[in-house]
């Protein structure tokens, strides 16, 4: 992207914290660009990156352990503000002569932070009547404060929980301001990047679009681009953005695998082909997918079958666009971070993504990924700015394999049709009752078991539908949504009455962990 919106940027060095992505999201929410990199990023690369400020993340190690993660000593001499969070604060303390020791009592969860001395610029407005609720997750604490620093706050268990050296722009906090459980944490991070680091906040949807359009035009020139359009948020926004940049040079391939939501294929065509004038090749591949999935019950195998067949069909259609030289993908920043150990290279590999890691060698196409630097909420924001329907941009996540992993066990057309109708009723009721936008993700699941029921004067033996709805900020943890009983009763009644083949509806009240959000 252009220098303009990258001129102000924050560098986040990752020490392996489960919350590092959240730090980046909070910085972006302050309209400031940032990147995640491993803690051992070479100093010359840090200088070349030219950050306005640096944030050191938390991490699972102890700073006093042999071989504990560290940074180059010169990092603190670069003349830019540094904020250390949890492990990052302990590392900074140790570097400047402080002492970090195992705590007599560990702190995990909520704590009451008590102000001490002057608050300093970072903590302006952070305390109310001398205290502030925060979220802790540590087993070590600073026993002796580092040279040149002063204590800002502590808890009854850990007297040194916030430190500062205002003259050098160095700050440390033992708690986690990036998580939702620290109510004023977002404000603290905003103060750091905007006031202390001097960033004005140029990272806005309009400027991101303007910059991306210029970059796409510069990359592609007069060449043609093909894109696999799924109807999901990421591919839809990528299509709209690329079309804004190069118009008819873009051709989308929409593979209808028969595992989409009710009327979704027609909605995709209406949005892109009819309303926006995008060239879209629609492929009706329901029979091919259902045939390939016949008898396949293992969820991972189902994913592979669906993914491999999608690539096969996409390549067939892409081959018909003979002059295409670019393949566009809706890769977003979390895909990059979470794949192959993540961009930082330090985090545990959570899951793989089919659209990260390059292209098959036989596909002689260049790769175009205009959303690669963006988080999901940023993608949604620019989608609305590009004029995509609100319901499309803000709808709940939908897995790549579609209903294939929301039908437990083997997949067939009967199961898919039942689930499609049940899910549509569920979504319709969530919208009309006002719950949809309070819920992070909701969906129906088809259970391939039959239960006894009674309808009219007759006995029935039909299938079960499970309803899932969760609340979450980051999808790493999630709680089940407390749906009012009256709404559940209405949804259940409609599904049983209107969807032939279902006589029982259940509601999933499992949290993540120990359960996952999706059932497969």
- Give the annotated binding-site residues: 230-236
Closest by alpha carbon to 57, among 197, 176, 190, 231?
A: 176
The reply to whether 518 belongs to the active site is no
CA atoms of 417 and 403, how far apart (whole Å): 10
> Which of the following is catalytic: 176, 243, 252, 429?
176
- Check: CB of residue 179 under 8 Å from CB of residue 185: yes
Annotated binding site for ATP: 230-236
- The DSSP bridge partners found for residue 140 are 102
> Which of the following is catalytic: 8, 107, 178, 338?
178
CA atoms of 11 and 343, how far apart (whole Å): 13
CA atoms of 293 and 288, how far apart (whole Å): 9
The reply to whether 252 belongs to the active site is no
Torsion sign (Cα): 333, 338, 342, 344: positive
The reply to whether 362 belongs to the active site is no
Phi, psi of 43 (to 5 degrees): -60, -35
DSSP state letters, 224-280? EEEEE--SSHHHHHHHHHHHHHHGGGEEEEEEE-S-SPTTHHHHHHIIIIIIS--EE
Cα 20 versus chain centre, distance:
12
> Which of the following is catalytic: 34, 86, 199, 252?
86
Structure tokens at 490: 């209405």
Closest by alpha carbon to 95, among 185, 167, 165?
A: 165
CA atoms of 187 and 447, how far apart (whole Å): 45
- The DSSP bridge partners found for residue 56 are 13, 84
* E strand intervals along 374-511: 441-455, 458-471, 479-480, 502-507
Structure tokens at 229: 């359009």
**Which residues are designated catalytic?**
86, 176, 178
């Amino acid at each position: 992207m252009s220098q303009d919106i990258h001129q102000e940027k924050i560098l986040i060095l990752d020490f392996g914290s489960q919350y590092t992505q959240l730090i980046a999201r909070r910085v972006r929410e302050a309209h400031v660009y940032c990147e995640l990199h491993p803690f051992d990023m070479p100093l010359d690369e840090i200088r070349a990156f030219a950050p306005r400020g640096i944030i050191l993340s938390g991490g699972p190690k102890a700073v006093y352990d042999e071989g504990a993660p560290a940074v180059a000593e010169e990092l603190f001499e670069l003349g830019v503000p540094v904020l250390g969070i949890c492990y990052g604060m302990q590392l900074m303390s140790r570097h400047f002569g402080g002492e970090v020791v195992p705590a007599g009592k560990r702190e995990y969860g909520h704590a009451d932070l008590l102000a001490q001395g002057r608050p300093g610029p970072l903590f302006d407005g952070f305390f109310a009547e001398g205290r502030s609720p925060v979220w802790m997750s540590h087993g070590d604490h600073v026993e002796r404060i580092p040279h040149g620093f002063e204590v800002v706050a502590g808890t009854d268990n850990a007297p040194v929980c916030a430190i500062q050296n205002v003259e050098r722009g160095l700050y440390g906090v033992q708690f986690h301001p990036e998580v939702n459980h620290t109510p004023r944490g977002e404000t603290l991070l905003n103060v750091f990047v905007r006031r202390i680091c001097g960033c004005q906040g140029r990272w806005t949807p309009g400027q991101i679009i303007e910059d991306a359009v210029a970059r796409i035009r510069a990359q592609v020139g007069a060449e043609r681009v093909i894109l696999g359009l799924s109807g999901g948020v990421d591919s839809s926004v990528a299509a709209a953005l690329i079309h804004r940049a190069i118009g008819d040079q873009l051709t989308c391939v929409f593979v209808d695998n028969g595992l989409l939501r009710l009327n979704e294929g027609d909605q995709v065509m209406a949005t892109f082909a009819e309303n926006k004038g995008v060239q879209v090749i629609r492929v009706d591949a329901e029979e091919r997918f259902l045939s390939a999935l016949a008898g396949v019950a293992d969820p991972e195998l189902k994913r592979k079958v669906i993914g491999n067949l999608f690539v096969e069909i996409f390549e067939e259609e892409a081959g018909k666009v003979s002059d295409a030289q670019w393949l566009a993908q809706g890769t977003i920043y979390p895909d990059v971070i979470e794949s192959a150990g993540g961009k930082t290279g330090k985090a545990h590999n959570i899951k793989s993504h089919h659209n990260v890691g390059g292209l098959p060698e036989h596909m002689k196409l260049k790769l175009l990924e205009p959303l690669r630097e963006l988080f999901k909420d940023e993608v949604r924001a620019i989608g609305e700015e590009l004029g995509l329907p609100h319901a499309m941009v803000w709808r709940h996540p939908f897995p790549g394999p579609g209903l294939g992993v929301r039908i437990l066990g083997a997949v067939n057309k009967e199961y898919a049709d039942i689930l499609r109708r049940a899910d549509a009723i569920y979504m319709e009721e969530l919208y009309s009752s006002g719950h949809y936008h309070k819920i992070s993700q909701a969906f129906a699941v088809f259970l391939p078991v039959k239960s006894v029921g009674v309808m009219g004067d007759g006995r029935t033996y039909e299938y079960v539908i499970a309803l899932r709805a969760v609340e979450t900020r980051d999808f790493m943890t999630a709680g089940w949504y407390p749906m009012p009983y009256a709404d559940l009763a209405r949804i259940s009644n409609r599904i049983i009455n209107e969807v032939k083949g279902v006589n029982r509806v259940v509601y999933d009240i499992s949290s993540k962990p120990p359960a996952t959000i999706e059932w497969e």
